[in-house]
Structure formats: C-alpha cells, structure tokens
Amino acid sequence: MSQRVTIAVPDELFERLQPVKQHFNISAVCQEALEMAVITQELKIQATETTNLVERLRAEKTVLLHKVQQEGFELGIRSSSSLSYKDFRHFERVNPVAAHLDEDVLDHLWGFLDFKNYPQQARLHDPDFAHLLEVDSQSRIVFAQGWVDGVLSVWQTLKNQVDSDQ
C-alpha cells in the first residue's frame, strides 16, 4: 500500500519540470530523494546512539582489562613459590619500570617461567585469556604488570620475615 504525499516546489523548478517530466517518473524520483533523506537522518540519530555504544564498549574494555590484570596477579602469586630471594629483590627493584612495559613482555615472562620450570598448564585457567593475550598487546602488558604486582604482594608479605635476624 502506498500513501500520498503532496510536495510543493518553487515556481521556477515547476516551469523547468514541464518540458522534461515525460522522461522520468516524478513520484519515483521524489521517493528516492525522500528515502535518502530519511536514511541520512536515521544515520544521524544512530550516530548519537553510538556515543552510548562507545561508552558501553569502553566500560566493557575496562572490566576485561581488570580481569586480565587479576589473572596476571593470581599467576604472580601462584608462581612466586618458584622464585628465589634474588628474583624477589630483582622484581622489587624493577617494579617502577613495570608501568612502561612493551607488548613483547609476555614472551619474556613465559621465558622466565619456563626457566623457573613453572608448568605451562598452571599459567592460565581460562582459555579465552590465552586468545586475548595473543591478539591484544595492551592485554599482554596489563597481564604482565598484574603478574609483577602479584609477585610483589607475596614478597611484601614475606620480606620482613626473610630479612629479619631470626
């Protein structure tokens, strides 16, 4: 079913239309122009709603990165049992640098844990994290920073006891 719409055109356009109107369908041309105008307006409205999408995606990213950091932190705690006194002191010293890690840091972390014979199957509990760490450099950095934080949280708990004179 079609609805009728009356349009008004300026006199000059109407006069120019008269000799050529038999060469095209005026209704189809108006429908096409109106369709394009409606689509344009809908896209503008959708773009405004996209701001909400961006905010939602940013919030999801923040939650995900926190989860990645927590996974790294927990691995740091679990893997601390394989570290030496020298390792703990080293990570304590280099901790300020952890804020400036690059995307290759995870390769170094896995290499370090391999060197310490920490089992690969005990590193990540969630297979989704393995994929995320492969594809997102920010996640690799956040995970490694979390690992350092986890190691240092264990060290802070033990440090006074280890450094005390029995």
pLDDT of residue 158: 92
Q: Average pLDDT per run of 10 along the chain, which is 166 residues long?
A: 90 93 90 89 80 83 90 93 93 86 86 87 75 81 93 93 79
51 domain-assigned: no
92 domain-assigned: yes
Separation between Cα atoms, residue 20 and residue 83, nearest integer Å: 87
The domain containing residue 82 runs over which residues? Answer: 61-163
pLDDT of residue 24: 87
3 domain-assigned: no
Cβ proximity of 105 and 144 under 8 Å: yes
What is the count of structural domains for the chain? Answer: 1
User: 3-state DSSP call for residue 123?
Assistant: coil
118 domain-assigned: yes
- Burial track 51-67 (b if 16+ CB lie within 10 A, e otherwise): eeeeeeeeeeeeebbeb
130 domain-assigned: yes
30 domain-assigned: no
pLDDT of residue 97: 84
Separation between Cα atoms, residue 150 and residue 33, nearest integer Å: 62
Separation between Cα atoms, residue 120 and residue 137, nearest integer Å: 20
pTM exceeds 0.85 for this model = no
Q: Which amino acid is at 3?
A: Q
37 domain-assigned: no
pLDDT of residue 166: 62
105 domain-assigned: yes
